[in-house]
Amino acid sequence: MREGRPEKRLFQAPRGTRDVLPVEQDYWRYVEETAQRIAQLHGYRRIDTPAFEETPLFLRSVGEGTDIVEKEMYSFQDRGGVSLTLRPEGTAPVCRAYLEHGMHNLPQPVKLYYLASIFRYDRPQAGRYRQHEQFGWEALGSDAPALDAEVIQMSWELYQLLGLKGLTLQLNSIGCAQCRPAYVEELRRFYEGKARHLCRDCQSRLLRNPLRLLDCKRDQALAAAAPASFQHLCPDCASHFQHVQSYLHLLELPYNLDHRLVRGLDYYTRTVFEVQPADLGAQSTLGGGGRYDDLIQQLGGPPTPAIGFATGIQRIILNLKKQGVPIPPQEGPRVFLAYLGEEAQQLSLRLAAQLRREGIAVASAFGNRSLKAQLRQAHALGAPYAAIIGEDEVRAGTVTLRHMATGEQRSLTFEQAVKDIKGNH
């Protein structure tokens, strides 16, 4: 670069991030609308929290020994010297808001859903990005096993309603603060003699967080033979898990017990679950969740059992595309306004405003293009009608309404044209 001259280059979206272009938006709208409908049907209300929080919120909730906290957080000091972190997950901010706004004083459970950008400094690959969007629901203030069943059922229902096939539901219970330590000790004993067979990450997990050994993708064979948490539950957790399962049977939800399912965040207790597509890859999990009965207390609140679920929108879309699920397209313009000449353009602007006031989507030509070119554009946009204003129409105060599919044309007054287009809506 020569001094004094700025380097000229085309900027690109940062590594691990993606633009969602208009051609993709039908998928996004479809997923978001379906998820919101499910949430609302189950009595959830939307909550939006800031894109960043004070860093200690995540240290205390997600857990210091987790991949997210150790390797993946986007943390920075702001100009006031406060350590902030771009949200690496959605649950802790919702719990923070629940406490901050005194929602523990409302009738429980409080049911909240969110649609939020999540930031993790991950190794980018298909289905794994540094910014992704999650849809999640959280039910706070109840430990009823029927609530677990409802949350699992609505999460499963979401994928069914979206039209995804061949999914599996994995279920586990990882116990509570009473029974988990003894189980973790048992797990440590199981792995200790086998440490040299473990990958390097797992060797360090063995010391810091043995539960995470179970979901290592490289050491699956060992994990399959490891002791199962659901066989080491205290009586309360065992009874809770029993009830959850009986409700799932009642709801006819097919699930697999999977003792390797522990999830990557420290705050989980008791029920955990995940939904996976049929073709398992490293980036397979579509969504997951579980109970976090101690989290709100850990954040300084009263004892408040809770359960939640989150799913990645990009992952859902990846699977919708893979399975060729048809997506309803966004409705295009109903009518395309074509004109020839300055006076016609003025009338066309007025007609467009009139049509839009009637709730009719309008596209129009701009500039001085031939009628043929304008009609080509109308065709490309898929507009069923073109409303043409040329010199003759200007003189007569009319508009020529062309039915694009048949080519049939009629000369109408503005009012008749609006009525016609609206009537055939």
Considering only residues 222 to 281 of the shown chain, the ones binding ligand AMP according to CB under 6 A are 264
Judged by beta carbon, residue 65 or residue 384, the one nearer ligand AMP is 65
Q: Which stretch binds ligand AMP (CB under 6 A): 45-53, 174-182, 189-197, 283-291?
A: 283-291
Judged by beta carbon, residue 317 or residue 417, the one nearer ligand AMP is 317
Q: In angstroms, give the least distance from the CB of 144 to ligand AMP.
A: 23
| 288 belongs to the binding site for ligand AMP (CB under 6 A) | yes
Q: In angstroms, give the least distance from the CB of 273 to ligand AMP.
A: 11
Distance between start and end Cα atoms, the chain: 59
3-class state of residue 281 by DSSP: coil
Q: In angstroms, give the least distance from the CB of 191 to ligand AMP.
A: 23
Half-sphere exposure of 56 (CA within 13 A, CB side): 4
Please tell me the distance from the alpha carbon of residue 361 to that of residue 283, in angstroms, as a whole number.
Answer: 40
Judged by beta carbon, residue 179 or residue 265, the one nearer ligand AMP is 265
Out of 93, 175, 287, 305, the only residue in the binding site for ligand AMP (CB under 6 A) is 287
Judged by beta carbon, residue 154 or residue 401, the one nearer ligand AMP is 154
Q: Are 212 and 174 in contact (CB under 8 A)?
A: no
Judged by beta carbon, residue 237 or residue 286, the one nearer ligand AMP is 286
Considering only residues 114 to 133 of the shown chain, the ones binding ligand AMP according to CB under 6 A are 120, 122, 127-129, 132
Considering only residues 77 to 106 of the shown chain, the ones binding ligand AMP according to CB under 6 A are 89
For the chain, what is the total number of helices (H) and then of strands (E)?
15, 16
Which has the closest alpha carbon to 126: 272, 20, 18? 18
6 Cβ partners below 8 Å, 6+ apart?
none
Q: Are 158 and 35 in contact (CB under 8 A)?
A: yes
Q: In angstroms, give the least distance from the CB of 129 to ligand AMP.
A: 4
Q: In angstroms, give the least distance from the CB of 119 to ligand AMP.
A: 9
Which has the closest alpha carbon to 265: 415, 17, 72, 34? 72
Binding mask 302-331 for ligand AMP (x = CB under 6 A): --------xxx-xx----------------
Main-chain phi, psi angles of 109, to 5 degrees: -75, 150
Binding mask 10-49 for ligand AMP (x = CB under 6 A): ----------------------------------------
Which residue has its beta carbon closest to ligand AMP?
312
Judged by beta carbon, residue 47 or residue 179, the one nearer ligand AMP is 47
Judged by beta carbon, residue 126 or residue 250, the one nearer ligand AMP is 126
Please tell me the distance from the alpha carbon of residue 163 to that of residue 11, in angstroms, as a whole number.
Answer: 37
DSSP one-letter string for 401-418: EEETTT--EEEE-HHHHH
Main-chain phi, psi angles of 85, to 5 degrees: -140, 130
Kindly give the interhelix angle for 145-162 and 25-41, rounded to the nearest 10 degrees. 150
- Provide the token pair at 348: 């066309």
Judged by beta carbon, residue 32 or residue 186, the one nearer ligand AMP is 32
Q: In angstroms, give the least distance from the CB of 195 to ligand AMP.
A: 27
| 170 belongs to the binding site for ligand AMP (CB under 6 A) | no
Complete edge-to-edge strand list for the sheet that includes strand 269-276: 45-46, 110-119, 131-140, 306-312, 287-291, 269-276, 168-173, 256-257
Which has the closest alpha carbon to 131: 357, 314, 397? 314
Which positions touch ligand AMP (CB under 6 A)? 89, 120, 122, 127-129, 132, 134, 264, 285-288, 310-312, 314-315
